[in-house]
Chains A and B, each alone.
With several copies, the nearest count.
Chain A
Amino acid sequence: MCLAIPALLLELRAGDQALVDLGGIRKPISVALLPDAQVGDYVIVHVGHAIGRIDAEEAQRTLALFAEMARLEPQA
């Protein structure tokens, strides 16, 4: 439920607005719910609002966990 997607915050604008980029698509969104959003953040966009952000380190950690899995030899 609740389609939401991480997008790169490109630009902060007046009135709690911001511009995000997703694969080359740019869309104005609201950051009223994430007042400390910064340019360069990957914010999580839901119905035109940033509701959260991606913690890059944690994302790395999760991916590392997967990669670790990949190093284990699968049993055929």
Chain B
Amino acid sequence: MKYIEEFRDGALARRIAARLAQEVRPGRRYSFMEFCGGHTHAISRYGIAELLPASVTMVHGPGCPVCVLPIGRIDLAIQLALERGAIVCSYGDTLRVPASGGLSMIKAKARGADIRMVYSAADALGVARQNPQREVVFFAIGFETTTPPTALVIRDAEREGLQNFSVLCCHVLTPSAITHILESPEVRRYGTVPIDGFIGPAHVSIVIGSEPYEHFAQEYQKPVVIAGFEPLDVMQAVLMLVSQVNEGRAEVENEFTRAVSPEGNLKAQALVSEVFELRRSFEWRGLGEVPYSALQIRPAYARFDAEQRFALDYRPVADNKACECGAILRGVKKPTDCKIFGTVCTPENPVGSCMVSSEGACAAHYSYGRFRDIPVVAA
């Protein structure tokens, strides 16, 4: 497959690895956060960690839209389906995220909730057209990449005058999350999370462009390299970050020039700002309430806003006590720091959201990397 396979070439990977080994300064440690779950997934799936010099540590960031969904939001979706009789449509990965009372959307479905997996937001609109006598709610999650398709269906529903369709909007914003991490005491005050630079989002950046990252690079003096999700992209980005650190630079560099421009997709941006506006505050799993970190539907489209249509009342719900997802999403801990990783919490029975999506740090490590974990205890 063109533009895919070329970026998964193992021989080239070994060359970049060799170059990296030359580039790292003896005695210096490098710690980079890959913001996106897409990078986390690539690192685990392709075994990139084994190709990096021992002095380079990758810290997983909060960039997985499924992982940052707070329990209370899933509860709302389940409530709509089970108590209000709505058809709730959602992307596949959302269905397994743990909610209150031992439920998840997929378990609610087994209890009779009419929950449907869709591949595209447009499919949810199709479900609404086919079921005019039912309320159909699209449970919309995702970062800036996934927001424009949601904006599109809201605009289309409005144009068509659909009466039974609404969106439960959980779209969140990348820059606010990065700022939040950079502002966190662990990074700023205690230095317990040393971050020497960021691998910047790939697909988010296709939409928003590379400009929004200039701010961090300047304000926090952290290098940012925007990189694609293929394994060579990741290796190259690490190499570029190491170079910046070595040279004392803190710039926004773009490894993913084949898809990302400075200004991004203007059409998509315009559509998003037509339909959505900044939300004053939004709860993220792991990060808590983060001001201006999410979107809500503009008043002009209020009748497509499930929160208003059903007068929903958001109730935050505490994560499982043992779960370290919060700390992991902030980069403070690693999956194996969690006491129940791989025992009580597995992809089969995820306790926290990081064990759900294969981009979640815990799931990625469990599924791809846990053969490295020692010691072994027979159960």
What distance in Å separates the Cβ of B301 from its nearest Cβ neighbour in chain A?
17
The answer to the question of B143 belonging to the interface, with a C-beta cut-off of 8 Å to chain A, is yes
- The answer to whether A70 and B12 have CB atoms under 8 Å apart is yes
Report which of B17, B22, B38 forms a contact with A2, defined as CB distance below 8 A: B38
What distance in Å separates the Cβ of A51 from its nearest Cβ neighbour in chain B?
6
The answer to the question of B234 belonging to the interface, with a C-beta cut-off of 8 Å to chain A, is no
Query: A54 to B3, alpha carbons, bound, how many Å?
Result: 8
A34-B265, A61-B257 are contacts. A52–B152 as well, Cβ < 8 Å?
A: no
- The answer to whether B268 and A51 have CB atoms under 8 Å apart is yes
What distance in Å separates the Cβ of B22 from its nearest Cβ neighbour in chain A?
6
- The answer to whether B3 and A42 have CB atoms under 8 Å apart is yes
Stretch from B199-207, B244-252, B282-290, B303-311 forming part of the interface with A: B199-207
**Chain B neighbourhood of A53, CB < 8 A:** 259
The answer to the question of A14 belonging to the interface, with a C-beta cut-off of 8 Å to chain B, is no
What distance in Å separates the Cβ of A26 from its nearest Cβ neighbour in chain B?
13
Q: How many A-B residue pairs have CB under 8 A?
A: 137
Report which of B65, B119, B255 forms a contact with A1, defined as CB distance below 8 A: B65
What distance in Å separates the Cβ of B345 from its nearest Cβ neighbour in chain A?
21
Residues of chain B from 90 to 124 with CB closer than 8 A to chain A in the complex: 91, 119-123
The answer to the question of B85 belonging to the interface, with a C-beta cut-off of 8 Å to chain A, is no
Report which of B3, B9, B123 forms a contact with A59, defined as CB distance below 8 A: B3
Residues of chain A from 1 to 37 with CB closer than 8 A to chain B in the complex: 1-6, 8, 22-23, 30, 32-35
- The answer to whether B143 and A1 have CB atoms under 8 Å apart is yes
Query: A1 to B1, alpha carbons, bound, how many Å?
Result: 20
- Considering residues A1, A47, A48, which has the most beta carbons from chain B within 10 angstroms of its beta carbon? A1
A: number of interface residues (CB 8 Å): 39
Chain A residue with the shortest CB-CB distance to B13: A66
Report which of B14, B203, B236, B257 forms a contact with A4, defined as CB distance below 8 A: B203
Report which of B65, B120, B204 forms a contact with A48, defined as CB distance below 8 A: B120
Query: A42 to B1, alpha carbons, bound, how many Å?
Result: 11
Interface string of B339-378 (1 = CB under 8 A from A): 0000000000000000000010000000000000000000
- Considering residues A2, A5, A69, which has the most beta carbons from chain B within 10 angstroms of its beta carbon? A2
- The answer to whether A52 and B207 have CB atoms under 8 Å apart is yes
Query: A74 to B53, alpha carbons, bound, how many Å?
Result: 14
A1-B359, A48-B123 are contacts. A55–B258 as well, Cβ < 8 Å?
A: yes
Report which of A52, A59, A74 forms a contact with B206, defined as CB distance below 8 A: A52
The answer to the question of B149 belonging to the interface, with a C-beta cut-off of 8 Å to chain A, is yes
- The answer to whether A44 and B236 have CB atoms under 8 Å apart is no
- The answer to whether B18 and A75 have CB atoms under 8 Å apart is yes
**Chain B neighbourhood of A23, CB < 8 A:** 1
What distance in Å separates the Cβ of B248 from its nearest Cβ neighbour in chain A?
22
- The answer to whether A6 and B4 have CB atoms under 8 Å apart is yes
Chain B residue with the shortest CB-CB distance to A36: B267
Closest 9 CB pairs of A and B: A48-B120, A74-B18, A2-B145, A52-B206, A59-B258, A58-B257, A2-B203, A6-B3, A58-B258
Q: List 22 A-B contacts (CB under 8 A).
A: A1-B142, A2-B36, A2-B142, A33-B148, A33-B149, A33-B265, A33-B271, A44-B203, A44-B206, A44-B259, A47-B120, A48-B122, A48-B123, A49-B122, A51-B268, A52-B206, A54-B259, A63-B6, A66-B232, A69-B15, A70-B15, A72-B18
